[in-house]
């Protein structure tokens, strides 16, 4: 068997083993992330493009350009990296290496700039910005992994499971709320109590 045929069979086998782990649907197209780090942009019109990043993609965020359409995407990985890629060409324009555990959440801080808040599995919340000398700064940490991030004026809302943390940028205020407290706790019933069989059956 020639090397060309061996490579073709290996390539087909690798393609069949890929699994979609994240997807991002926009009005201009769909960005799909695979478990081997491959990213594929499938536009509504035009040819699809592909690229590969190191690590398992865990978070996808679309960025709108000044003209309105989506022209960039932010990708967080399990290795703690944050990549900013252009759309539709998927060219890398910025990379932030946090090395603080898997990236779980990303939110945009400033429109028109590569400035984001990034939450990790270890509870760390980072401010990453391509336009300053210290590109990655640790803002604060919480107990538990970060599930989602949201900015509201000067307050940072961090969700960790059912627990919501609300902090200010300077750390002067910190509120914690258990969002599951309002839900009633139902007593678990045994199977014999749930299904009553008449006697004789």
Q: For residue 56, count other CB atoms closer than 10 A to its CB.
A: 17
Residues written for the chain: 201
CATH code of the domain made up of 19-88:
2.40.10
Are 106 and 76 contacting, i.e. CB atoms less than 8 angstroms apart?
yes
Identify which of 44, 50, 41 has the alpha carbon closest to the alpha carbon of residue 27.
Answer: 44
Are 126 and 146 contacting, i.e. CB atoms less than 8 angstroms apart?
no
- pLDDT, one tens digit for every residue, the chain (201 residues): 555 555 455 545 555 678 999 999 998 899 999 999 999 999 988 899 999 999 999 999 999 888 878 899 999 999 999 999 999 999 999 999 998 899 999 999 988 889 999 999 999 999 999 888 899 999 999 989 999 999 988 899 999 999 999 998 776 778 988 888 877 777 666 655 655 555 554
**Residue whose entry in the numeric block shows the structure tokens 């943390």:** 165
Give the span between the Cα atoms of 69 and 63, in whole angstroms.
9
Where does residue 55 rank: exposed (0-12), middle (13-18), buried (19+ CB within 10 A)? Answer: middle
CATH architecture of 98-182: Beta Barrel (2.40)
Topology agreement, domain 19-88 and domain 98-182: no
pTM score, whole prediction: 0.80
Are 109 and 151 contacting, i.e. CB atoms less than 8 angstroms apart?
yes
The two beta strands, 20-25 and 29-34, are antiparallel
Element (H, E) at 7: helix 3-17
Domain locations along the chain: 19-88, 98-182
pLDDT value of position 7? 46
Identify which of 95, 93, 85, 74 has the alpha carbon closest to the alpha carbon of residue 22.
Answer: 74
Q: Which residues lie across from 97 on neighbouring strands? A: 81
Give the span between the Cα atoms of 98 and 192, in whole angstroms.
52
pLDDT value of position 154? 82
pLDDT value of position 25? 92
Cα 163 from chain centre: 19
Q: For residue 94, count other CB atoms closer than 10 A to its CB.
A: 17
């Amino acid at each position: 068997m020639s090397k060309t045929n061996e490579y073709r069979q290996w390539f087909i086998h690798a393609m069949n083993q890929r699994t979609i782990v994240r997807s991002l649907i926009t009005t201009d197209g769909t960005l799909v992330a695979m478990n081997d780090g491959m990213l594929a942009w499938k536009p509504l019109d035009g040819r699809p493009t592909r690229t590969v990043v190191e690590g398992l993609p865990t978070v996808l965020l679309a960025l709108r350009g000044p003209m309105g359409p989506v022209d960039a995407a932010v990708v967080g990985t399990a290795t703690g990296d944050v990549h900013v890629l252009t759309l539709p060409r998927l060219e890398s324009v910025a990379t932030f290496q946090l090395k603080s555990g898997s990236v779980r959440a990303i939110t945009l801080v400033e429109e028109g700039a590569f400035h984001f808040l990034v939450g990790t599995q270890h509870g760390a919340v980072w401010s990453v910005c391509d336009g300053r000398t210290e590109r990655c700064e640790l803002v604060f940490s919480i107990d538990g992994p970060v599930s989602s991030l949201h900015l509201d004026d000067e307050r940072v809302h961090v969700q960790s499971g059912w627990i919501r943390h609300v902090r200010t940028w300077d750390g002067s205020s910190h509120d914690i709320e258990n969002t599951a407290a309002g839900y009633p706790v139902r007593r678990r019933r045994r199977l014999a109590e749930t299904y009553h069989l008449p006697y004789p059956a």
